[in-house]
Amino acid sequence: MYLIGLIEDDLQLRKTMENYISLQQDLSLVFSCNRIEKWISIRQDAGIVPDCILLDIGLPGISGLDAISIISSYYPGVKILVISGIEDPLVAWQAMMNGANGFLLKPFRLAEMQKQLEILKSGGTVLEPETMTGLIQTARNRFNNQDSLERFQEFGLTQREVQVAELLVAGSSYKEISTILNVSYTTVNEHVKNMYKKVKVNSKMAFINRVSIMKS
């Protein structure tokens, strides 16, 4: 049984999701509320720790973005699937950087929600290709508005290594990079080691300094 928590302020949508979850044999709703402050007040009474929380971004009071770290501190290891009506890569970027495991854009079909819950249940990360592209582009823009692709490719980096490099330089951790690119932590580590070898450095700081010199 996969245990679900739901924090959504749209009453109609919340009731629809509650009803859908109740009809699934492999899902069980642990709690449902309309804001973070309400969840905090009922958290201890609920007792059972959920496996995954469906979290709306546009909440009254404490926002969903700010709540990600709060929830993670109470429930270490919980999966957080952000649901949002804001089609903005910057919002998705911030959600993933704050520790979310997936981003589901409203409106969505309930069958799609269940499919993405299955992905999280199996240890995967929920990111549509368009969202992933937006996240990578956002990381690129945060570092350099010029064409960073050519700069990295001068070192002979592959396309995937360029993506890892852009995220690394933008300040992402290995764990965050693995989440955004939907690869394992070990794979990220291998890419970084190959990047360091090609750029002829042996640390993150040296790598950033080296590519910054190339920028100038």
- Give the CATH number of the domain where residue 168 resides: 1.10.10.10
Domain carrying residue 31 = 2-126
Sheet holding 52-56, edge to edge: 27-33, 2-7, 52-56, 79-84, 102-105
What percent of the chain stands above pLDDT 90?
33
Residue 43 has pLDDT above 90, yes or no: no
39 and 113 within one domain: yes
Residue 137 has pLDDT above 80, yes or no: no
What's the CATH number where 52 sits? 3.40.50.2300
Give the mean pLDDT of the chain: 82
55 and 136 within one domain: no
Q: Quick one: pLDDT at residue 165?
A: 86
Burial class (CB in 10 A: 0-12, 13-18, 19+), 26: exposed
Q: Quick one: pLDDT at residue 145?
A: 41
Residue 32 has pLDDT above 70, yes or no: yes
| pLDDT tens-place string over residues 59-75 | 999 999 889 989 988 89
Q: Quick one: pLDDT at residue 28?
A: 94
Q: Quick one: pLDDT at residue 140?
A: 53
103 and 41 within one domain: yes
Please state the domain count of the chain: 2
148 and 52 within one domain: no
Residue 129 has pLDDT above 70, yes or no: no
More confident: 132 or 24: 24
3-state SS string over the chain? Answer: CEEEEEECCCHHHHHHHHHHHHCCCCEEEEEEECCHHHHHHHHHHHCCCCCEEEEECCCCCCCHHHHHHHHHHHCCCCEEEEEECCCCHHHHHHHHHHCCCEEEECCCCHHHHHHHHHHHHCCCCECCHHHHHHHHHHHHHHHCCCCHHHHHHCCCCCHHHHHHHHHHHCCCCHHHHHHHHCCCHHHHHHHHHHHHHHHCCCCHHHHHHHHHHHHC
For residues 86-110, average pLDDT: 80
151 and 84 within one domain: no
Report the C-alpha gap between 58 and 8 in whole angstroms.
9
136 and 120 within one domain: no
111 and 11 within one domain: yes
12 and 114 within one domain: yes
End residue of a domain, out of 126, 143, 176:
126
Q: Quick one: pLDDT at residue 146?
A: 46
End residue of a domain, out of 104, 126, 148:
126
Residue 109 has pLDDT above 80, yes or no: yes
138 and 43 within one domain: no
160 and 114 within one domain: no
End residue of a domain, out of 88, 107, 126:
126
